[in-house]
Amino acid sequence: RKSFRTVIFAVLIIMRISCVKSLFPVLSVAVVFLYMSSVKWEIQTQEKHELKFKKKIAEENSLKEKNEKKPAKKLFPNSYLFKQWTVELSEDDQRKAEDLFQKYGYNAFLSDQLPLDRELPDTRDHRCIGREYPHNLPTLSVVLIYLDEALSVIQRAICSIINRTPAVFIHILLQICSFSFRAEPLLARIQAERTLVLSPVFDSVNYYDLQVTKYLASAHGFDWALWCIYVGFPQKWYDQNDSSQPGKSPSVMGILVVDRLFFGEIGTLDGGMEVYGGENVELGIRVWLCGGSIEIVPCSKIAHIERAHKPYMPDLRNVMKRNALRVAEVWMDEYKINVNIAWGLPIQNHGIDIGDVSERKKLREKLHCKPFKWYLENVYPELNPMHLLGYGVLINDLQTRLCLDKGPFEENTPILYPCHFMESQVISLLPSLLCIFKLNRCLIDPGSGRFPELSWSLLGKMLILVCFQGQAIQNRETKRCLEISADQTGKYEKNVFLQDCRNQHWKIQNIIQDL
């Protein structure tokens, strides 16, 4: 187009030079008309290009905006992390978050984005705030072990300890687990009584969003399987109406403060324990039996991440069982059979290697420790010994591969199920009662209908084991028996029935007393 205008100007100049005066005006008008036409055409063409370009940009922006607003596909709908943590993440970030969750058992992806010195809410009792403590408190060595922890969690824990503990009290800072606490309330109690073992109150850090959930002060206990549970303080703690005061506890859940010399005197931790579980219960029992005591200190708080799973061992039952049996063998005297019962093991010859306990038994003799009966009567009376006639799975002689099972939890009807010898099939046999162990649901004859029920309440008519092992299970009032039936093909149904007795026999796995 530029060259076309150049030609027109050249023609005009030549015409002017050639003195073609008669034709110049006419030709000049024609040339000018051509020039103006070319300019108009150029403008129209430019406008078309600009309009096309704007339309393209608008389409690209619209598509970009649409893509940005479109949520990413949910890649892990069944993940325990994403069931609780409902944020919008790209697919790449979802993969990173899920990989880290499987590796650590908590939301390490989110942890890596949080500041190392993040603020935590002060969930202590209001009476703790501003309380004064002695200035000459002992120094503190922080020694906590961690395993498979995200680096950001470890770094945040270190920052938390340093920021919340006056530097004058920190003597040694070793390997750190995910926690933070106030040192002064604990140190003041240790200074007052060196034989105390203390624990702060735990607040829970959610594994999915790392937010803090306040927990109320409670004592630390355990069941006969030695799984840790929260229990109430002695009544006199509640009578004082001051929830900021320390309270006595039967055990400790693993994070503790203790005088270093006293800890050595009573034998530190049992080095024969493996991996996880039981070592804290063993310490709690030993402290009480051998001259010390345990307290929970509400004015000291810990924010502790509770993992969704232990990445180093998904199933802890076998190692917990082994450690529990070791504790029972050393410390529980005649009450150790309750641990066997809790795990569904024979009272004699359970067949599990608990390691050498000779040195721990010598330690008990050396320290002149009290018997376990004293602990049950004076420290933890809530841990009632189980006075059972028998326990374990219950099998009908007609089908020895099937066991009585509690069935779906939301239902109250027991069923037959292939024997797996785990919790839902472990029956405890008391005089006149058959109960699913640990769940406290007992087998009853409701008085009508064909099916027995598992009831939380014992207002129904209980099934009574008649005579000896290997006999019928009969309700003496209704005269109906617990029995199984086969269908027309000879295959046994999953249901168990209450019906007229047909001389069917049942056996329970372990017998404690003759029936």
- Look at residue 85 and tell me if it is in a domain: no
- The total number of structural domains in the chain stands at 3
What pLDDT score does 105 carry?
A: 95
- Residue 495: its H or E element: strand 492-500
CATH of the domain at 395: 2.80.10.50
Question: Which tokens sit at 199?
Answer: 């624990």
User: Are residues 369 and 456 located together in one domain of the fold?
Assistant: no
Beta-carbon contacts of 511 under 8 Å, excluding residues fewer than 6 positions away, are 389, 390, 469
pTM here?
A: 0.74
Pairing assessment for the beta strands 140-142 and 427-430 based on DSSP bridges: unpaired
- Look at residue 178 and tell me if it is in a domain: yes
Q: What angle do CA 229, 234, 240 make, to 5 degrees?
A: 130
The answer to whether 486 and 365 have CB atoms below 8 angstroms apart is no
What pLDDT score does 55 carry?
A: 78
Per-residue pLDDT reduced to its tens digit, 241-290: 999 999 999 999 978 899 999 999 999 999 999 988 899 999 999 999 99
- Look at residue 89 and tell me if it is in a domain: no
**What residues does 57 pair with on adjacent strands?**
none
24-69 helix and 2-17 helix, angle to the nearest 10 degrees? 170
Q: What is the pLDDT along the chain (515 residues), one digit of tens a residue?
A: 555 555 555 555 555 555 455 554 555 555 555 555 555 566 666 667 667 767 777 777 777 666 555 678 899 999 999 999 989 999 999 999 999 999 999 999 999 999 988 888 889 999 998 888 888 888 878 876 788 899 999 888 888 888 877 776 655 544 434 344 568 888 899 999 999 999 999 999 999 999 999 999 999 999 999 999 999 999 999 999 999 999 999 999 978 899 999 999 999 999 999 988 899 999 999 999 999 999 999 999 888 898 999 888 888 889 999 999 999 999 999 999 999 988 888 888 889 999 999 999 999 999 999 999 999 999 999 998 878 888 889 999 999 999 999 888 778 889 999 998 888 888 888 777 777 766 567 888 888 889 998 887 666 567 665 556 788 888 888 888 999 988 767 778 888 999 999 989 999 888 886 65
- Look at residue 196 and tell me if it is in a domain: yes
CATH of the domain at 126: 3.90.550.10
User: Are residues 229 and 355 located together in one domain of the fold?
Assistant: yes
Question: Which tokens sit at 204?
Answer: 């829970």
Beta-carbon contacts of 197 under 8 Å, excluding residues fewer than 6 positions away, are 252, 256, 257, 258, 283, 284, 287, 292, 293, 294, 295
Choosing from 348, 378, 408, the residue where a domain stops is 378
User: Are residues 60 and 10 located together in one domain of the fold?
Assistant: yes
User: Are residues 308 and 394 located together in one domain of the fold?
Assistant: no
What is the residue range of 24's domain? Answer: 2-69
- Look at residue 385 and tell me if it is in a domain: no
What pLDDT score does 470 carry?
A: 82
User: Which DSSP letter does residue 140 get?
Assistant: E
User: Are residues 184 and 310 located together in one domain of the fold?
Assistant: yes
- Own/partner contacts of 430-437, CB < 8 Å, gap of 24 or more, are 430/387, 430/388, 430/389, 431/389, 432/462, 432/464, 432/465, 433/458, 433/462, 434/394, 434/462, 434/463, 434/465, 434/473, 436/406, 437/341, 437/342, 437/344, 437/391
